[in-house]
Amino acid sequence: MKVEEKKVVSITYELKQDGNDGEVLETVTMENPLTVILGIGNLLPAFEDKLLGLSEGDNFNFTLSAEEAYGGYNDNAVISVPKETFVVDGKLQEEMLYEGNAVPMMDEQGNKLTGVITSVKDDHVVMDFNHPLAGIDLFFKGEVVGVRDATPSELEHGHVH
The reply on whether position 157 binds Zn ion by CB under 5 A is yes
Cβ-based nearer residue to Zn ion, 2 or 157: 157
The reply on whether position 121 binds Zn ion by CB under 5 A is no
Shortest gap between Cβ of 156 and Zn ion (angstroms)?
Answer: 8
Please give the distance of CA 161 from its chain centroid, rounded to a whole number: 21
> Which helix H or strand E contains 74, and what residues bound it?
none
Cβ-closest residue to Zn ion? 157
SS3 label, residue 161 = coil
Output helix, strand, coil percentages for the chain, rounded to the nearest 5. Answer: 15, 40, 45
Radius of gyration of the CA atoms of the chain, in A: 20
The reply on whether position 151 binds Zn ion by CB under 5 A is no
Shortest gap between Cβ of 159 and Zn ion (angstroms)?
Answer: 6
Closest C-alpha to 100, from 125, 65, 123: 125
Give 14's DSSP letter.
E
Cβ-based nearer residue to Zn ion, 6 or 157: 157
Compute how many residues bind Zn ion; rule: CB under 5 A: 1
Which of positions 29-88 make contact with Zn ion (CB under 5 A)? Answer: none
Shortest gap between Cβ of 9 and Zn ion (angstroms)?
Answer: 17
- Whether 103 contacts 96, CB under 8 Å: yes
Cβ-based nearer residue to Zn ion, 91 or 161: 161
Binding site for Zn ion (CB under 5 A): 157
